[in-house]
Amino acid sequence: MYDSFSVIPAVDMQDGEVVQLVGGERDTGTQYGDPVEAAERWVDAGAEILHLVDLDGAFEGERVNADAVEAIVEAVDVPVQVGGGIRTASDAGDLLSLGVDRVILGTAAVEDPDIVTRISEMYADSVIVSLDAKDGEVVVDGWTEGTGLDPAEAAGRYEELGAAGILFTDVDVEGQLTGVRRGPIEAVTEAVEIPVIASGGVATLDDIRTLREVGAAAVVVGTALYEGKFTLEAAMSV
């Protein structure tokens, strides 16, 4: 899925709308319209992968925007990775059977690490573990609860359990257009051999270059694209 460095547009959904949260805080988001329309727009602009997040699901612990996810999968012809509210192997299986290419596990992977192995054994190369870091520790439940886990150490553990990739989100700069922080993502990329997808803080094309330089396999971009800081085409050309 990440044969070369990929720029992945984010379609984060809350209450049926595309939103981008600031610092992971609920109800801080700017709305950007219909999720299916956004997904189609990014594909038309050249997106080769889409990143979908059910934010309501992340906060509530169950998938809330399932209909929108299904509509997007039916509407586009590029690989789709989905996170938010996936708490069981059954949840993951439903999405993968639907046509989702990879599921993203955050809270579920922290609470039950072996779920990564169980899903991977049923659906090879299908699990991305989301490590969202705030103040240097992994946080869960919609970025509201600390775990005490170090992101780099946790990444190595999930690689051993069969994760196909790690999604590392720097929550401290998420949605703020303040630029990426090299150190946190570099620590994770150096800890594992599997692909690491970076997220959080991207504001300029130089941020994308930095992430590529530190070994990220891909970057998820949200606010910067929706606010027109640069085009997807320009980002993919970095």
Is pLDDT above 70 for 142?
A: no
Is pLDDT above 70 for 185?
A: yes
State pTM to two decimals.
Answer: 0.92
More confident position, 28 or 12: 12
What is the rounded average pLDDT of the residues 144-169?
95
State the catalytic residues.
12, 132
What is the rounded average pLDDT of the residues 5-21?
91
Half-sphere exposure of 88 (CA within 13 A, CB side): 5
Is pLDDT above 80 for 2?
A: no
The C-alpha torsion from 71 through 48 and 88 to 62, rounded to 10°, is -50
pLDDT at 28: 62
More confident position, 175 or 130: 130
How far apart are the C-alpha atoms of 85 and 63, rounded to whole Å?
5
Is pLDDT above 80 for 1?
A: no
Tokens linked to 177: 């257009």
pLDDT for 194-215, tens place per residue? 999 999 999 999 999 999 999 9
Neighbouring residues of 1: CB distance < 8 A, sequence distance ≥ 6: 49, 79, 81, 101, 102, 125, 165, 195
What average pLDDT does the chain have?
91
- Closest-CA residue to 32 (of 50, 43, 15, 20): 20
What 3-state DSSP class applies to 6? strand
More confident position, 60 or 125: 125
